[in-house]
Amino acid sequence: MPHDAATHHRDIPAQLKTAEQACAENGAQLTALRRDVLALILQAETPVTAYQLLDQLKPIRKSAVPPTIYRSLEFLLENKLIHKIERLNAFVPCAEADHHHADAQFLICKTCGTVIEIEDHGVSEALTKAAAKHGFTPTRAVVEVEGLCAACAANPS
């Protein structure tokens, strides 16, 4: 499911509830701060950096500092509630918070910043086969493809 405006802003309270349930099933707790960080990521139109999150949290959590944000992000990553877009050093919500997968593929629009998460098992299988030819066993694979989303491709500026 894409992280674009059409699907990204589904029912955020329901997404937070799903996240809480997923954490509880893993024996983890979605604290108030972690919940706030996740809510900000869910609300974001485009990938958001740790410092953007900090700026957004400061008005409601005066004591928020970079280490607290990074710890919250680490927790959300470990619990597969968000993804880190390495190329952008920014974060997006997992398209399916109740669906845990180790591999992720992202289409990143270089014009508007839209990130679309896709789950193509063929891509994962091809990477695994290519790695096996070299005696390599991947434990995690993230593919980031930069280009133009449909809207930007249709309306070049």
Res 1 pLDDT > 50: no
CATH number at residue 137: 3.30.1490.190
Give the pLDDT mean for 65-82.
95
Q: Give me the percent of the chain exceeding a pLDDT of 70.
A: 89
pLDDT score of 7? 47
Spatial CB neighbours of 151, under 8 Å, sequence gap ≥ 6? 112, 114
**Predicted local distance difference test score (pLDDT) of residue 151:** 95
Phi, psi of 2 (to 5 degrees): -70, 155
On whether both 112 and 69 belong to a single domain, the answer is no
Q: Is residue 98 part of a domain?
A: no
Q: Same domain for 8 and 68?
A: yes
- Does the residue 99 lie in any domain? no
Residue 45: per-residue pLDDT: 87
**Same domain for 24 and 86:** yes
Q: 108, 147 in Cβ contact below 8 A?
A: yes
- Give the three-state DSSP class for 60: coil
Residues 87 and 116 in one domain: no
Quick one: average pLDDT of 91-115? Answer: 82
Residue 53: domain span: 2-93
**Pair (39, 73) in one structural domain:** yes
- Evaluate if residue 77 carries a pLDDT over 80: yes
Average pLDDT over residues 106-119: 93
Q: Where are the beta strands (DSSP E) in the chain?
A: 2-3, 82-85, 90-93, 104-109, 115-118, 142-147
